[in-house]
Amino acid sequence: MVIRDRTATADDGIQGAVPRLVLEPGTVEEAVGAMARCAADRLAVAFVGGGTMLGLGARPARLDAVIRTGALSRLVDHAPADQVVTAEAGMTLAALNEALALHRQRLPLDVPFSSRATVGGVVAANTFGPRRTRFGGARDLVLGVSLVRADGTPARGGGKVVKNVAGFDLPRLLVGSLGTLALLTTVTFRVHPLPETEVTLLFPGLTPEQVRALASAWRAAQLEPSSAVAVFASDRLDLGVRFEGFATGVADQSARLLELARKSGRAGEQLDADGAAAFWRRHDAVRERGSLRVKIASTPSHLGDLARSWLPSLLGELSPSGAVIYPTLGIAFASGEPASPAGLAAGLRDARQAVGAAGGSLVLEGAPAVIRPVLDPWGPPPPSIDLMRALKQRFDPDRRLAPGRFVGGI
Amino acid sequence: MSGRASVTELAGRLSAVVGARNCYTSASELLTYECDGLTHGRTRPDVVVLPGSTEEVAEVVRLARAAGRPIVPRGSGTGLSGGARPVPGSVVVALSRMRRILEVNLEDGWIRVEPGVINLDVTRHVSAAGYYYAPDPSSQSICSIGGNVAFNSGGAHCLKYGFTVNHVLGARVVLHDGRVVDIGGPALDTPGHDLLAALVGSEGMVGIVTEVTLRLLRKPEATRTFFATFPSTDEGGEAVSRIIAAGILPAAIEMMDRLAIVAAKAATGLDWPDVGAALLMDADGPTAEVEDLSARAVQIARDAGALELRLPRNEAERQLMWKGRKSAFAAVGRISPNYMVEDGVIPRSEIAPVLREIESMAKEQGLRVANVFHAGDGNLHPLVLYDAREQGQEERAEQLGGDILRMCVRRGGSITGEHGVGSEKAAYMADMFGPDDLETMKWVRAAFDPDGCFNPGKVFPSSRLCGEKPGPGGVEHPAVRSGEVQRW
């Protein structure tokens, strides 16, 4: 067995925790071997795909080894007629979508850093983008997984068909588990057809109330956008709404939404290709830049709180700063560079408390080293934390998989 | 823990919690609870309790555990895999009294209900406001939300809209020790492991759900339906493949073969022609889009060799077409004294060869199979027809059903698309998954229910079949130690 292994450098670290050893399996069998070696040597091990979400979660409490999945990058199987694809965990989203595009299909997970983000990483970190509005997140698209357990045993769950309820749902259980339960080696997804066309409409300079009213109006009118994103622009919101599908339906829905907005006195325009690309770049910049990156999950009816209170209390402590809201999901992201660490920590605490009181959560996706020691990246654990600990105990009784990275110190 | 209490003692304690009228111990009362929709496997429980609240469920669980009894949760009892079949000595906890709708929030798109609420009643509750609950199992007018959560129920429209797991936002669960825990909630992405994924589809083996928060969807603006007939399932299957390949995502696309059509006609009096295959497709969404999609699909069906195409002129005609499809299971009773419903899944592109294989397998056993299936996602419902009065036919039918499921697995599919594994298909799990896969799944169960007190004997094949090893920290059930119950 040839597993490339080497001595780690600082670049292999996770939030400053540097392992002694880096393993780079090139096949699923080698990944099994790497896990078996970690089990035999009782090594604390974390998994790294493209390394785009290493700021999510806490610094590992122990870290002896890192398994990098980048060389596990093959497309295992694509059945275009069944709209199902299986890829190795280290394949990037961009490479996967390039392969799917040859058959006019795509995996509609429009995640940040898609040229580096890997299939396994996206599942483990539950990363998503604006198209979650229509297509759901990783848990709505994953059908099956192969994994390697902490004890070095390979196993699999789910299947390769879009409909399957046989056995406990290991694939979805691993979504968002951040390497705390098992190493993913392959993932099977349901894929969607590439749309014939797409259109982005821009409604600039709205108040939160106007965004909420417009979203209610298009829902009342039974329009079905594939994405809706409000980008913070000083004290206003620039709302972008995307329709995708066959040309007839897209043209009709776009025209109807512009008309709905016009009736309520809101100006909107259909962006040309360059304009649309520029708008989505503004969104991407917020998701991808800044040493501080925060995700707030709430509900759509809290849009006013998000835009007028929770986000401003953070943005005031960042310079430069940016924020986007996915109004129909009740989710927002903010990012930037801290002006004063003390002020930022206080701002984050205040925002977290307010979000939590409204039933939501505030999670750090990236934070400068000065913030880490004073703020739990996950916030208070949910009431079901005991079950999560029990799950961890079953899957990883020696606490060797990414120990301390997860919620509640798991 | 005290020794095992007698049924009378236990019933007395349970009655004190739920009221004597909600606690059954007489043979006539227990009869209903001996099986679910899979009626050919029956086991009488010792006690049936119908709690009225989360607190009562928690107390019932504590008492049953203290008495060393396995606990079998039950919804409406419409399941088709024996998932609610009791085990000897068990306490059945039926949730049918817990049917309150607790809270609705249309702007955020959710509803919180008790587990005994009937699936269709969720939609009825919000229908006037233009909303609905998407998962639509054929039994939706009688099956309960709690049962849907346990079995991750689908329905004809899950090709586009997903299963129960895609529509459950939160749940309140009573655990094995009577603790009550809330999982998830209306806000997305609760930090931590996705426990809802572990819960939904766990077939009653991790706890008892006493409240569920469900996602509500805005009704689509328009639905367009067409019905097409084909000389055989070859052309019908080809039409389905081409529709999907054209980038069309139907809301539902259903197919029936000749025998199923004959049965549906006999049951409903529909004037469907005598053909080899029939296709029923729904497209839904914004009007202009749907009309475009539907027109494209109709053209594709024609090009693929459709004999006849019918478009309903109004909602009543549309409902009638669906009635024909939805009645197909029961309708088979018109053409055969007995039948078994299977629930296999195959890659959808293999529909035509699979149907030919099923036909030849049936011939070998000297039996007939009617096929009704969700063609868009490859979910087959072969109805194996037999006559129980004929010596050996029932056994041959069971053999054929099992062979069909194994063939589905061989072709890369699944032994169940929506009915669940239950007690009926537990033995086939070893055909689809290896011992390590099953052991890993058992860890999930054990994290919730370390002693395996909830719904034993389901999903996992018995240890003889799969070479089961106890997981890390695995604890043997007291009833196993005492020799009362076999290791499941």
Q: Does A76 touch chain B (CB under 8 A)?
A: no
Q: Does B199 touch chain A (CB under 8 A)?
A: no
Residue A1: pLDDT over 50: no
pLDDT of B130-175, one tens digit each? 999 999 998 999 999 999 999 999 988 899 999 999 999 999 999 9
Tell me how close the Cα of B332 comes to any Cα of chain A, in angstroms: 24
Instruction: Out of B185, B218, B251, pick the residue that ends a domain.
Output: B218
Residues B306 and B241 in one domain: yes
Mean pLDDT of B3-8: 78
Name the pLDDT band for A204 (thresholds 50, 70, 90): very high
Note whether B72 and B83 are within 8 A (CB): no
Q: Which residues pair with B277 in a beta bridge?
A: B230, B257
Average pLDDT, chain B: 91
Q: Which residues pair with A66 in a beta bridge?
A: A22, A46
Q: Which domain holds residue B118?
A: 101-218
Which carries the bigger pLDDT value, residue B266 or residue A296? A296
pLDDT of B322-361, one tens digit each? 988 888 878 888 899 999 999 999 998 888 899 999 999 9
Residues of chain A numbered 291-310 and touching chain B (CB < 8 Å): 295, 297-301
Give B456-473 as a DSSP string.
Answer: TTSSSPPHHHHT----TT
Residue A356 dihedral angles phi and psi, to the nearest 5°:
-60, -40
Structural domain includes residue B487: no
Nearest-angstrom CA–CA distance, A209 and A215: 10
Closest chain A residue by Cα to residue B108:
A300
SS3 of residue B94 by DSSP? strand
Nearest-angstrom CA–CA distance, A183 and A181: 7
Instruction: Out of B187, B218, B249, pick the residue that ends a domain.
Output: B218
Contact across the interface for B448 and A390, Cβ inside 8 Å: yes
Amino acid sitting at position A53: M
Which carries the bigger pLDDT value, residue A17 or residue B482? A17
B213 contact residues in A (CB cutoff 8 A)? none
- Assembly ipTM: 0.97
Residues B205 and B261 in one domain: no
Nearest-angstrom CA–CA distance, B165 and B154: 9
Residues B445 and B420 in one domain: no
DSSP A374: G
Nearest to B181 among A140, A220, A383 (CB): A383
Contact across the interface for B437 and A156, Cβ inside 8 Å: yes
SS3 of residue A148 by DSSP? strand
Nearest-angstrom CA–CA distance, B316 and A186: 47
Average pLDDT, chain A: 96
Looking at chain A, the whole-number percentage of residues with pLDDT higher than 90 is 95
Structural domain includes residue B347: yes
Q: Does A319 touch chain B (CB under 8 A)?
A: no
Tell me how close the Cα of A386 comes to any Cα of chain B, in angstroms: 9
Residues B258 and B388 in one domain: yes
C-alpha triplet B256, B260, B263: angle, nearest 5°: 145
Burial class (CB in 10 A: 0-12, 13-18, 19+), A3: middle
Q: For chain A, what's the residue count?
A: 410
Name the pLDDT band for B466 (thresholds 50, 70, 90): very low
What sign does the dihedral B355-B356-B360-B366 (CA atoms) show?
positive
| Cβ neighbours for B4, distance < 8 A, ≥ 6 positions apart | B67, B68, B69, B482, B484
Residues B150 and B208 in one domain: yes
Domains detected in chain A: 4-68 (3.30.43.10), 75-193 (3.30.465.10), 197-283 (3.30.70.3450), 289-374 (3.30.70)
SS3 of residue B483 by DSSP? coil
**Count of domains for chain B:** 4
Q: Does A195 touch chain B (CB under 8 A)?
A: yes
Amino acid sitting at position B196: L
Buried b (16+ CB within 10 A) or exposed e, B38-58: beeeebbbbbbbbbbebebbb
Nearest-angstrom CA–CA distance, A244 and A242: 7
Torsion on CA atoms B124, B128, B132, B137, rounded to nearest 10? 30
Nearest-angstrom CA–CA distance, B187 and A361: 8
Structural domain includes residue B1: no
Check which CATH number belongs to the domain holding B66 and give it. 3.30.43.10
Residue labelled with tokens 């899950």 = B158
A250 contact residues in B (CB cutoff 8 A)? 289
Burial class (CB in 10 A: 0-12, 13-18, 19+), A167: buried
